Amino acid sequence: MTDQPHLQAMSAEELAVACANELYRRDRATQHLGIELLRSSPGQSTVAMTVADFMLQGHQTCHGGYLFTLADSAFAFACNTYNEPTVAIGCAIDYVAPGRGGDVLTATAVERNRSGRTGNYDVEIHNQDGHLIALFHGKSYRVRGQILEPKTHIQATNTQENNND
């Protein structure tokens, strides 16, 4: 998992939160779109986004690219909760219902399988009324390195705790 002794003392939950928060801190695209990291735990994450006017396409519903980005962000945070950098090697999305302007969309990612260097994750996007908007499946691939540097874990663990207040 990690060769950093101070990280070995962290619980799996603490490590997951620290990794997700550190990635969120670095993720300019996710932040630019107003996507918030709400929760993370080993192999899971939840993010949320309000559909802004600039996200609406010609039918006045949320452009599918923004729905994909929301789901992809949830997927990224979920598969990077083990301090092992992981990237997507395949993703697919099914749009079930339209998102509307002003909707608050929540994407929840859940790990289905993780073995060797690959993993499979499912993401559901729901609106504020609990209606299913989209289903996403992502396949991950673990690359070399670690997410947390020796001093980043202290700063990273504070971000999500502040978001949960």
Q: Tell me which residues of the chain have a pLDDT lower than 50.
A: 1-2, 152-154, 156-157, 162, 165
Is residue 79 within 8 A of residue 43, CB to CB? The reply is: yes
Give CA angle at 36 (56, 155), nearest 5°.
Answer: 150
Rounded to whole angstroms, how far apart are CA atoms 56 and 64? 9
| pLDDT at residue number 117 | 96
| pLDDT at residue number 156 | 46
| pLDDT at residue number 4 | 57
> Exposed e or buried b for every residue in 11-39, given b needs 16+ CB within 10 A?
eeeebbbbbbbbbbeebeebeebebbbbb
Written as one string, the DSSP assignment of 82-95 is TSS-EEEEEEEEEE
Question: pTM for the whole thing?
Answer: 0.87
Instruction: Please write the tens of the pLDDT for every residue from 24-39.
Output: 999 999 999 999 999 9
| pLDDT at residue number 36 | 98
Q: Which two tokens stand for residue 94?
A: 């099914």
Is residue 91 within 8 A of residue 138, CB to CB? The reply is: yes
